[in-house]
Structure formats: structure tokens, C-alpha cells
A and B are shown apart, each in its own frame.
Chain A
Amino acid sequence: MVTDIKFINVSVDYRTGPLHSKNVLDNISLHIKPGTFTAVVGHTGAGKSSLLKTMNGLVIPKKGMVKIGDYSISNQPNQSLKNIRKRVGMVFQFPESQIFAETVEKDICFGPLNFGISPREAKEIARRVIKNVGLEPSCLHKSPFSLSGGEKRRVAIAGILAMNPEVLVLDEPGAGLDPAGKKEILSLLEKWNKKYRMTTIMVTHEMDDVARYADDVIVMEKGKIVFHGDVTSFFSDVERIKSWKLDLPETLKFQLELEQQTGIRLPEKCLTPEKLANALIEVGLV
């Protein structure tokens, strides 16, 4: 099942305590194609997290409509969000801080049980997804609090995958992990995205990750979407990226510096070290 996401003129207000922020999402229309890996970038407070929460029905739009496949969310009382939440798996920032059960298995089963899956089936799912996130099944009976940071995060993500979502939305899944742990998690995401055609949306600050993993990029500024397109066209205009005050991937930085110092132009914008190496060989620099 491959699911797409549509935002039709969505505006969202946000309330924290006595403070009321208006239009954290400001009249957004958007179509995320089924099966794509989309990176959402932008500054703090641009509305990235609100965009993700709206996809999950944790924030209800004040105006407009959100469509997840055949289901929709709009500003009306008593709508059932369970169908949406089952289909959209949401991984929060530092998801390991929501782990609560005494064993890994119980924590992973929490989601499926909430959605009415039998305990026996839930345990089977747990055994399957724990392997999917690259942990040993023997982990299942350990206390989640005895695991390392990276392992805990994988358990938390496994807890979401166990709900068998069609869309996976993640808020900075790599934040606070060591480079190896981060790479592993992002590679896993990429693998599921390609293998199961799971529509994946990820908020990130790392342009290297955007370059390496994403198909499409959404740039947000002050509650609006200022760019939505594929990675190649996103990185094609360096000046524009700078105007959004975003960083460039390391390889691209290297390429630009090289082109400036030698005057040699490489045939294309290189986003990964492999492509850069090939381009350098092609123009005969190495």
C-alpha cells in the first residue's frame, strides 16, 4: 500500500499555555508523492515540526484539509484520528525519551495493541521489527533502560514500525547520535523507503543527509513552503540556498571551492563523494 499526502490550503495555530502563536502553518498546499523520501529543512520555528504533527492529527488545521491517502483531517469535532495515526507512524525528536515499558518487547507491542492487534500477533511483529532495526531478538526481553542511546532509539523506531504504517514521519532521527549510529538509522530508513515504498518525511538540519538520502526537499520559512522539488533542482541554485540561510553539503562545498580556485568546471553538481570522485576523474583532475 503506497500512500500520498496532500495539504489543501492548510493553516494551523498553536497554543502553548497562555501563549498563542498564530499561523505556524500559513495557508500551505502541498502534495507529497507516494513512496518518496522527502526532507524538510528550514530554521528553528519555521513550522517543520508543526507540519509533521499536522500529518499525524496531533495538530488539527484551523483551515483547510489534510489528506493521507483516502483519509482526511479537517477542523471538525469528533473525527476519528485512529485511522490516520495507524497509517502515519510518527517518530519524535529523541524518541527514546518516550520508552516506558519494562521490557523492549512490551514497548514495541504498545502501538500494535492500541490498534487492536492480538497480543500473540503483536509479539510476532515485535520479533520481526527488532531484526528490521538491526537489533538481536535477544534484546526483546531486556529492559530498554539498559540499552545504549543508539539502541534505545532503534527500539523506539521499532515501536513505530510495529504499527505497520504506510507513511513514516521523523523529526531529526539522527540528532544526538554518534556518526556511526546516525548513519545506520538513516540507511535503515532509506532501505525501508526503497524496499516497502514507505513514504518517508524527515525533518533534518544536515544538508549532507538531504543530499545523500532524500528524493525531494521541502524548504520552510515562517510557516510557508518556499520550495518543494527534487534534490537536484534544489541544489542547482547555490545562491538561492544561501538566501534561505541554509548550509551546503560538504561535497558541494568542496566542488565549489575547487572550481573557484582552479577555474575548472565539473560537469554536474556532485552531492555524494562517489559522484564527486567520478566527476573529478572525468575531467581528468585525478
Chain B
Amino acid sequence: MNKLLLGRYIPGDSVVHRLDSRTKLISAVCFIVIIFLANHWQSFLLLWTFTFLTLYLTGIPLNIYIRGVKPFIWLILFAVLMQILFTGGGEIFFQWGPVTISELGMINGLNAFFRFTLIIFISTVVTLTTKPVELTDAIYFLVKPLKVFRLPVEEISIMLTIALRFIPNLFEETRKIIDAQKARGTEFGKGSVFQQMKTLVPVFLPLFVNSLNRAEDLANAMEARGFRPDMKRSSFRQFHWKWQDSFTIGILVLLTASIILIGLYE
């Protein structure tokens, strides 16, 4: 439970921390798109260099990022295995029914591995260096134009903010309840699948009850402080676009162009 890194914020004062949250969000989305355009080793070299440089600039130790990949390792290995076993093409090393291990399969497998880890690294950078509220501000900013289509953008944004805001609380509380039930003799992760599922009831039930209670408290507190869903709201946090932001966007434009050019000429 404690291993999941996505959605956590580690306070800091690095260049990456200080970037505008919109820049980070746009860059991350753009980066993920170009990851899928890349299919040459030169492109991946470029992407890895960029990623490691970013990781270094955040000032957060590398092993924390590697820990972020760990929970997904089975998913990644599964995808890699599928690529290796079921893609044909190029020189074929081994064949048995539909299973072929070929040169192209190996390359595709490696590419899949790179893509997954790069995506996880970059999205972890964004969540680790950006306060969740700033992230929702950025999301709000970017989807604001959709208001034209009568999308309740403000409501969605406040819901996102609240949901993100309470993730740490939920984690903390889950841990507390797990501890409390352990103290009452529950042994987690032992016995058959059915038995293990049964041990989760005493964890999730109180968690739901407490969350519902808290939701009601929160709704009352918000109403008491004058919150109305359909009112125009001003924002406490303001965006400040700095030259570093323009610089980052510039780098990403260059990166995208290089990846496309490598794709065209290789």
C-alpha cells in the first residue's frame, strides 16, 4: 500500500518544482505522445537523456523513482513478453505454433519496456514535484475552453481537487486501520485467496464509513464558508509564467521535432 508513489508530492525547491504546473502537465502529455512516435534507438537515447536530466534536476534521489516503477513491474513484463512471443518479422530465432521469437519481437519488446518505464518516470516527476492542487489548477486551466460545450468545468475541477487532497488521508487511514486489525490478530496475506479477501472486509468497511462521514463534514464545512457550486469563483493561487517555462516548452518542441526527423530519415 505504501509502495504506490503516483499521486504523492515531495516538497522541494528545484527548478522542476518551481516550473508552472501548466508547463509540467503539457510537457508530460507531449512527452508521452512522442514516446509513441519513437521507434529508433537514437530516439530512445534522446528520450532517456532528457528523462534522466529531468530526474536529476528534481533533486529527488533516483531510488525513489525506481521504487515508483516497481508496483508496475508485472504489467510491464507481461507487455514485453507478449511483444516478444507474438510478434514475427526479421530474423526468426525460434518458432512453435503461434509463438515466435524473432528479431522484430525482441526489438518491440525492448521498445515496450522503454515506453512503459519512461511514461512512469515522467508522470512520477510531475506528481512528485507538483502540489496536487496546482495540478488540478492546471487541468482546470486546460479544460476551461470546454465550457463552451456546457461541461461543468468548475465542478469537475473542485471534485478533482478534493479527491486528490484526500488521497494521503485515505492512505494514512488505511494504514492505521490495517495496524489496528493486525493488533486484533488479523494476518494479512496468509491463507487462501478467499481467506485473504475476507481479511479485507474489516479494513474497507471502516474506511468507507469514515470516508462517508468525512464527506458529509466537508460538505457542511464548505457550505458554512459560503461555497455555492454555480457561482463564479476567483482563485487564490495565480499562475506565473516565467522564462524557464518558455524554455521548457522550447526544449520539448525541439525534442518532438528531432524524434519526428529521426523517424523520417532513419
* A101→B206 CA distance, assembly (Å): 9
Residues of A within 8 A of B (CB): 15-19, 53, 56, 58, 82, 85-86, 88-90, 92, 95, 97-101, 110-111, 114-115, 145, 159-160, 163
Residue of B2, B67, B181 near A16 (CB, 8 A) is B2
- Known contacts: A114-B185, A160-B184. The answer to whether A100 contacts B2 by CB under 8 A is no
Interface string of B184-206 (1 = CB under 8 A from A): 11110000000000000111011
B148 at interface (Cβ–Cβ under 8 A)?
Answer: no
B5 x A98 contact (CB < 8 A): no
Residue of A nearest to B185 (CB): A114
* A88→B185 CA distance, assembly (Å): 11
B185 x A92 contact (CB < 8 A): no
| Chain A nearest CB, measured from B187 CB (Å) | 7
A58 x B182 contact (CB < 8 A): yes
Residue of A53, A110, A115 near B179 (CB, 8 A) is A53
B177 at interface (Cβ–Cβ under 8 A)?
Answer: yes
B48 at interface (Cβ–Cβ under 8 A)?
Answer: no
**Residues from chain B with Cβ under 8 Å of A159 in the complex:** 184
* A88→B183 CA distance, assembly (Å): 8
B144 at interface (Cβ–Cβ under 8 A)?
Answer: no
- Besides the known contacts A97-B206, A100-B209, A101-B202, 8 further A-B residue pairs in the complex with CB atoms under 8 A apart: A18-B128, A19-B10, A98-B202, A99-B206, A100-B201, A110-B202, A111-B184, A114-B184
B8 at interface (Cβ–Cβ under 8 A)?
Answer: yes
**Residues from chain B with Cβ under 8 Å of A16 in the complex:** 2, 172, 175
**Residues from chain B with Cβ under 8 Å of A86 in the complex:** 185
B183 x A90 contact (CB < 8 A): yes
Residue of B nearest to A90 (CB): B183
A110 x B187 contact (CB < 8 A): no
**Residues from chain B with Cβ under 8 Å of A145 in the complex:** 209
Residue of A nearest to B184 (CB): A111
